Amino acid sequence: MNAIETRDLRKTFGGKVAVEGLTLEVRRGEVFGFLGPNGAGKSTSVKMLLGLVYPTSGAATVLDRPLGDVHVRARIGFLPEHFRFHDWLTAAEFLRTHADLYGMPDARVPKRISELLELVGLAGHRDKKLRDFSKGMLQRIGLAQSLLNDPELVFLDEPTSGLDPLGRLLVRDIIRDQRERGATVFLNSHLLGEVEVTCDRVGFIKHGRVMAIRALRHGGDGGMELEIRASGVCDGTVVQLNRWAASVRAEGDMLKLSVPNEDAVPEIVSYLVGTGARVYSVSSRRDSLEEMFLRILGSEGGL
Amino acid sequence: MGMRSIAALTLHEAARRRIGLAAFIIGALFLSFHGTGLYLMVTGGPLRDMNGRIPPLILRQILTTLSLMGLYAANWLVVLMTVLTAVDTLSGEISSGTIQSLAAKPIRRWQLVMGKWAGYVVLITVFMLLLTGGVLIEDKLILGFAPNHIPAALAMMWLESLVLLAVTLRAGASLSTMTTGVVVLGMHILAFMGGWIEQFGALENSPTAVHVGITASLLMPTEAMWRKAASEFQGPIIGLAGSSPFGTTSVPSMGMVAYAAIYMLVALGSAVRRFSRRDL
């Protein structure tokens, strides 16, 4: 079951392509990181999924409903990138207004507001106007707003950009709580560390296109470097290893391979042994997210 | 539900940002000056000296003019208040991004526009009733005079503001705040000019000038609604001199009133349509 499915979602503004054919599946209950340089099309993608921006072409479903379905938004939470809110409201009034817009039952609202203010560390500021909030406090209240309705799916667009390290830890905890609750989290970010510690899978986006999707936990297909020490490996065998590996280099009795996932390891070893090679050691190293980022998106940025 | 929440938010904003308070203070100042002015005119000038010796028809004409002056100024205040308060409600929220967290909620775009519209209708109506009510009460107390057909005339003034509000929302759904203000006030001034051209045309027996004026009113039927209101206030007998803002030498027809109402509905529908189709 997928929380989000998109097919060739495309958006152009005038002649400029913001998102070029987004094809993506986000599973229910996972924390999905959307990683890419600034201007890569992350926010536009999220806005299309929320019905704020209309795609030029392509199709998508969110929580099994087609794009533009109004009712499904009652089950979605959203923290916008620039967290600009009506700053003449107090924190409690702001949450009250948004609870009304969600159509939440009146009886539940006061308790929920208190819980959320407590959660984001703003309980002492409930009657303070948002215009007197710091950037970090605005982001916290925005985060509270995105959780008001206990959403099945939460979009967080750069949720830690205004936060200090303590605030970032809070966001991590909140994301963890959401996962434990069974919610799906779609996290837009350009901060590698944040994605690395919170996400189950990550999509790399550049120039409005998904370049790769990798799992970050539970083994899976994170992409890894393999070093094999073996003797009796002929050139033909090395060439054959390309069946499993994205790249293969032979240096003396060392073979260095980049493989997409760990499922390839036993197959490669068994193939080598089958050719008569003698395998002495196999060591694997998983790519750090930073290495993946640089390998997939390149170092020149997305602009 | 969504529309009601947005309307409530709009009223809350007016209260919290002291728009209501500012309008109230300006209105109170306006009425103080208006009342003082009326009182001085009645007690200090030829009106007092000639009291009892002015033919009733002429007296009524003088009193009507005094009353219309106050209502005319009140009308301008309502016009400006309508445009200035509603001018950034769509464009401002779109450009600042505050609209995003609203539009991502389970409400439809039309509910957002109509909720705002409803909020402003309440504000404008209350403001208009306070101002015109104040003027009419002062007329009664100080001049001992009440103009004709008050409900019908007020309805025309109300329609004028509703047209302005609808056009403001329509422009704000596409344009920046500044451009919206320029366009809407510019169109109103155009209509205002058209009204004068029409009056002069009627006075000079120039059908071409009358047609030019009517064309301006078709482009923006706001000023025509004020002139319709002015003619209602004056009643059928007294037509004042043509070259004044109260001139009724060429009175807009009921057809023009119907046109203004349809114009307002079309502008509002177009605002909803434009806002519903745009990216936020």
Task: Kindly determine whether residue B106 and residue A74, on different chains, have CB atoms separated by under 8 Å.
Answer: yes
* Interchain CB contact of B95 with A (< 8 Å): no
CB-CB contact of A111 with A182 (8 Å)? no
Cβ contacts of A51 on chain B, cutoff 8 Å: 103-104
Q: Which residue in chain A has the smallest CA separation from B92?
A: A86
Nearest CA to A178 among A32, A297, A291, A47?
A32
Distance of CA A4 to the CA centre of its chain: 12
pLDDT digits (tens, 9 = 90+) for A35-87: 888 888 899 999 999 999 999 999 999 999 999 899 999 999 999 988 889 99
Task: Please state the ipTM of this predicted complex.
Answer: 0.85
B104 near A CB under 8 A? yes
Phi, psi (rounded to 5 degrees) for A2: -110, 145
CA-based nearest residue in chain B for residue A90: B16
Touching check for B16 and chain A: CB below 8 Å?
A: yes
Largest CA distance in chain B: 70
Average pLDDT over residues B1-22: 90
* B102/A103 Cβ within 8 A: no
**Which residues of chain B make contact with A73, given a CB cutoff of 8 A?**
104-106
Q: Name the residue with tokens 């349509």.
A: B273
Each residue's pLDDT tens digit, A24-34: 999 999 999 99
Per-residue pLDDT of A277-296, as tens digits, reads 899 999 877 777 777 777 77
Q: Which tens digits make up the pLDDT trace of B78-124? A: 999 999 999 999 999 999 999 999 999 999 999 999 999 999 999 99
Question: What would the two tokens of residue A128 be?
Answer: 């303070």
Whole-number Å distance between alpha carbons of A221 and A218: 9
State the CATH class of domain A2-215: alpha beta
Domain range annotation of chain A? 2-215, 224-286
3-class secondary structure, A32: strand
- Predicted pLDDT of residue A220: 47
Cα–Cα distance measured from residue A15 to residue B196, given in angstroms and rounded to the nearest whole number? 46
Chain A hits for B96, CB-CB cut-off 8 Å, are 84
Pairing mode, if any, of strands A57-62 and A201-206?
unpaired
The CATH topology of domain A224-286 is Alpha-Beta Plaits (3.30.70)
- Asked if A76 lies within 8 A of B104 by C-beta distance, the reply is yes
Q: State how far the Cα of A239 lies from the Cα of A216, in Å rounded to an integer.
A: 29
User: Which of B2, B13, B101 is closest, CB to CB, to A145?
Assistant: B101
Task: Return the pLDDT at A303.
Answer: 44
Band of residue A187 on the pLDDT scale cut at 50, 70, 90: very high
Mean pLDDT for all residues in chain B: 89
Query: With 50 as the cut, is the pLDDT of residue A265 above it?
Result: yes
Q: What is the mean pLDDT of chain A?
A: 88
- Measured in angstroms, the CA of B100 and the nearest CA of chain A are apart by 7
Residue A190 has, within 13 A of its CA and on its CB side, a CA count of 14
Give how far A214 is from chain B: nearest CA, Å. 29
Task: Report residue B109 as tokens.
Answer: 């775009």
Residue A262 tokens read as 């760990």
| Chain A residues with CB-CB distance to B7 below 8 A | none
List of chain A residues whose C-beta atoms are within 8 Å of the C-beta of residue B103? 51-52
- Contact status of B174 with chain A (Cβ, < 8 Å): no
| A73/B105 CB distance under 8 A | yes
Cα B97-A14-A58 angle, rounded to 5 deg: 85
With contact defined as beta carbons under 8 Å apart, do B10 and B126 qualify?
A: no
- B280 in A contact zone (CB under 8 Å): yes
What does each C-alpha distance from B249 to B152, B154, B214, B221 come to in angstroms? Answer: 19, 20, 13, 18
How does pLDDT run across A123-153, given as a tens digit for each residue?
A: 999 999 999 999 889 999 999 999 999 999 9
Q: Mark yes or no for CB contact A80/B16 under 8 Å.
A: no
pTM: 0.85
B98 contact residues in A (CB cutoff 8 A): 84-86
Residue B134: half-sphere exposure toward Cβ, Cα within 13 Å? 21
Q: What is the pLDDT of residue B45?
A: 65
Residues of A with CB under 8 A from a CB of B: 13, 47, 50-54, 70-74, 76, 78, 80, 82, 84-86, 88-89, 93, 97-98, 100-103, 142, 145
Asked if A80 and B97 come within 8 Å (Cβ–Cβ), the reply is yes
SS3 A76: strand
Q: Which of B5, B105, B280 sits opposite A53 (nearest CB)?
A: B280
Q: Is B126 exposed, middle or buried (0-12, 13-18, 19+ CB in 10 A)?
A: middle
| DSSP output for B128-160 | HHHHHHHHHHHIIIII----S-HHHHHHHHHHH
Does B9 lie at the interface with A, CB-CB under 8 angstroms? yes
Enumerate the H helices of chain B as residue ranges. Answer: 2-16, 19-44, 46-49, 56-86, 91-96, 98-103, 109-138, 150-174, 177-203, 207-219, 222-234, 254-277
Q: Dump pLDDT digits (tens) for B176-225.
A: 999 999 999 999 999 999 988 888 888 888 889 989 999 999 999 999 99
Interior/surface letters B41-60, b for 16+ CB within 10 angstroms, e for the rest: bbeeeebeeeeeeeeeeebb
Most A CBs within 10 Å, among B6, B279, B280, to test the A interface:
B279
Rounded to a whole number, what is the distance in Å from the CA of A62 to chain B's nearest CA? 13
- Set of chain A residues whose Cβ sits within 8 Å of the Cβ of B97: 80, 82, 84
* Contact between B101 and A100 using a beta-carbon 8 Å cutoff: no
Residues 202-221 of B with CB under 8 A from A: none
Q: Which residues of A touch B104 (CB under 8 A)?
A: 50-52, 73, 76, 78, 80
Of the partner residues A47, A53, A101, the one whose CB lies closest to the CB of residue B5: A101
Minimum distance, in Å, between the CA of residue A86 and any CA atom of chain B? 6
Q: How many angstroms separate the CA atoms of B246 and B234, rounded?
A: 9
pLDDT surpasses 60 at A20: yes
